[in-house]
Chain A
């Protein structure tokens, strides 16, 4: 296990940021800490880096307990949401920072920095200042700076959060490829479930300072441990005590045994996907996700009465009692 956190607790004044959090991150893996803001995911990441001290619990990196060590000694690479670029240094100076601290000789530093700039596709920009770079370039520079010192783990705190949608998507597939090449154990924090599922092999879903569930994207989507996870990793309809995903709602014009009667309230076409909003007999509002061709076959109109068959229903009452 590359990183383990055991029963971590952290409180800021009245706010319980972490409550008995334990996670395990396998060597060479890419793990996402996923959760809404205030769920404690950034605090957990910063505690692993040593930028936050825990009130209780332990942080273990490669088998040694580093809980008492300052950030300086933990040999982690950390990438901040807002880059934290050293503004008065060139790109070269930024990437060389950790190597200069380690007193490498000049020739070696130069070789290593240029190797990394090539890796993050910034070669040729070595003499620029951060203010002359775009957001995406700055973040790649920050990544090169963190990787330069060959950290034992790479920690990324909402690394794409400050970038626009297009750059975000490019950078995340690029990160995925980079990880496949370098195999450095990586943890990244995000509130975007699509981003987490796209990039990470393992997801840790957090909420209100606790870990709700961890596992692969498929695990979480198909076997969510509770209502929070189910609704956080995908869309969900609530039918009494039951939960069902909108794409598991079959809409038909003929009534079968066990079908629910519903009225079409609104049809929203979002390209290939169509969102059909419905009202059940008891007033419950749900929606079904159809494809464009399904919609055309049914010839649905607003105000029409249809019959719903929810599939793969989940119910969490037992789990909630156990928790």
Chain B
């Protein structure tokens, strides 16, 4: 019995160690192999700082939008019966199913030089491709399902009785949502936000296609990593990688700390 348990434990730990921790640990090791100066120089170069700022901008725009949309969409799916709900539910998963490169290409077809929307946009003086709007669109597209997927089961679980109780006590729809529904689903939403943030931070494929990856202009951190790697600037590539990993870890930790504080 005990031997079996130890075997299982060793297998599980070994799997995680070999496939997750080893490569990640190596990056940390390689980054600081020659001290902190080389990776720091690469990140604090003008292009590096610009990439960092642009990445944070993507997060600042895509995450709030997808959070509001995700919660609203989950509410519609769970609380309002409609014949098209299963269809919408399936559509929401599309970004999971389609390769990010294909998503980038589809945006290209829509907004590109020969794209459907190009004439109107050109007239209005809006440049989507090879600029920030296109990258925001790509980021939103790839990270769209997370908040919906995390919120739907929590909404189903809490049921409607608390909301009905609130309405008999005189609360209108907004008050009920603000004071009863949202607090009850907040950890589901928070988890969705963390996943969305991580995805937007790390998105490569779709953003790469629509941005053109112009250094100092349309280069996010993952694109910066690739460019440094291609230019044989390994400390720069590793330094930016570690920065990305730290950003993602920070969001995870922030949520766990908030949750612990609340539970206490």
Chain A residues in 8 Å Cβ range of B171: 72, 97, 101
Taking the closest CB of chain B, its distance from the CB of A155, in whole angstroms, is: 8
Lowest 8 A-B CB distances belong to which pairs?
A98-B169, A84-B161, A84-B165, A78-B168, A71-B167, A88-B183, A101-B170, A72-B167
| 12 A-B residue pairs with CB within 8 Å | A51-B168, A71-B168, A72-B170, A73-B170, A78-B168, A80-B165, A84-B165, A86-B162, A88-B183, A97-B171, A98-B169, A101-B171
Judged by a CB distance under 8 angstroms, whether B184 is at the interface is: yes
Contact assessment for A78 and B179 in the assembled complex, using a CB-CB cutoff below 8 Å: no
Chain A residues in 8 Å Cβ range of B162: 84-87
A79-105 with Cβ < 8 A to chain B: 80, 82, 84-89, 97-98, 101-102
Judged by a CB distance under 8 angstroms, whether B40 is at the interface is: no
Contact assessment for B170 and A149 in the assembled complex, using a CB-CB cutoff below 8 Å: yes
Query: Besides the contacts A72-B172, A101-B171, A145-B169, what 9 more A-B pairs have beta carbons closer than 8 Å?
Result: A49-B168, A51-B164, A51-B167, A70-B167, A86-B180, A97-B179, A102-B170, A145-B165, A149-B169
Q: A77 contacts which of B166, B168, B180 (Cβ < 8 Å)? A: B168
Judged by a CB distance under 8 angstroms, whether A187 is at the interface is: no
In the complex, what residue of chain B is closest to A79 when comparing beta carbons? B165
- Chain B at the A interface: mostly helix, strand, loop or mixed? helix
B181-200 with Cβ < 8 A to chain A: 183-184
Taking the closest CB of chain B, its distance from the CB of A206, in whole angstroms, is: 22
* Contact A84:B164 (CB < 8 A) given known A97-B179, A101-B175: yes
Q: A80 contacts which of B161, B172, B180 (Cβ < 8 Å)? A: B161
Judged by a CB distance under 8 angstroms, whether A244 is at the interface is: no
Contact assessment for A76 and B168 in the assembled complex, using a CB-CB cutoff below 8 Å: yes
Judged by a CB distance under 8 angstroms, whether A220 is at the interface is: no
A203-250 with Cβ < 8 A to chain B: none
A174 to B4 Cα, complex, angstroms: 57
Judged by a CB distance under 8 angstroms, whether A146 is at the interface is: yes
A38-97 with Cβ < 8 A to chain B: 49-51, 70-78, 80, 82, 84-89, 97
Taking the closest CB of chain A, its distance from the CB of B205, in whole angstroms, is: 39
Taking the closest CB of chain B, its distance from the CB of A191, in whole angstroms, is: 19
In the complex, what residue of chain A is closest to B163 when comparing beta carbons? A84
Taking the closest CB of chain A, its distance from the CB of B262, in whole angstroms, is: 9
B148-171 with Cβ < 8 A to chain A: 161-162, 164-171
Taking the closest CB of chain B, its distance from the CB of A294, in whole angstroms, is: 49
Q: Map CB proximity to B onto A110-135 as digits: 1 under 8 Å, 0 otherwise.
A: 00000000000000000000000000
Chain A residues in 8 Å Cβ range of B172: 72
Contact assessment for B168 and A97 in the assembled complex, using a CB-CB cutoff below 8 Å: no
A96 to B179 Cα, complex, angstroms: 12
Chain A residues in 8 Å Cβ range of B169: 97-98, 101, 145-146, 149
Taking the closest CB of chain A, its distance from the CB of B261, in whole angstroms, is: 14
Chain B residues in 8 Å Cβ range of A146: 168-169
A70 to B170 Cα, complex, angstroms: 10
A287 to B138 Cα, complex, angstroms: 78
In the complex, what residue of chain B is closest to A87 when comparing beta carbons? B184
Which residue, of B161, B166, B169, B170, has the highest number of chain A Cβ atoms within 10 A? B169
* Contact A71:B164 (CB < 8 A) given known A86-B180, A149-B170: yes
Chain B residues in 8 Å Cβ range of A88: 183-184
A157-185 with Cβ < 8 A to chain B: none
A146 to B167 Cα, complex, angstroms: 11
A102 to B170 Cα, complex, angstroms: 8
Chain B residues in 8 Å Cβ range of A87: 162, 184
Taking the closest CB of chain A, its distance from the CB of B61, in whole angstroms, is: 30
In the complex, what residue of chain B is closest to A102 when comparing beta carbons? B170
A258 to B200 Cα, complex, angstroms: 91
Which residue, of B164, B167, B168, B171, has the highest number of chain A Cβ atoms within 10 A? B168
Chain B residues in 8 Å Cβ range of A82: 161
In the complex, what residue of chain A is closest to B179 when comparing beta carbons? A97
Chain B residues in 8 Å Cβ range of A85: 162
Taking the closest CB of chain B, its distance from the CB of A128, in whole angstroms, is: 16
Chain A residues in 8 Å Cβ range of B168: 49-51, 71-72, 74, 76-78, 146
Chain A residues in 8 Å Cβ range of B183: 88-89
Chain A residues in 8 Å Cβ range of B165: 78, 80, 84, 86, 142, 145
A320 to B161 Cα, complex, angstroms: 40
Chain A residues in 8 Å Cβ range of B170: 72-73, 75, 98, 101-102, 149
A145 to B184 Cα, complex, angstroms: 18
A146 to B170 Cα, complex, angstroms: 11
A78 to B169 Cα, complex, angstroms: 8
Q: A78 contacts which of B164, B175, B180, B184 (Cβ < 8 Å)? A: B164
A75 to B171 Cα, complex, angstroms: 11
A128 to B163 Cα, complex, angstroms: 21
In the complex, what residue of chain A is closest to B168 when comparing beta carbons? A78
In the complex, what residue of chain B is closest to A93 when comparing beta carbons? B179
Taking the closest CB of chain A, its distance from the CB of B134, in whole angstroms, is: 41
Taking the closest CB of chain B, its distance from the CB of A131, in whole angstroms, is: 12
Taking the closest CB of chain B, its distance from the CB of A157, in whole angstroms, is: 10
Chain B residues in 8 Å Cβ range of A75: 170
Q: Map CB proximity to A onto B198-213 as digits: 1 under 8 Å, 0 otherwise.
A: 0000000000000000
A45 to B151 Cα, complex, angstroms: 31
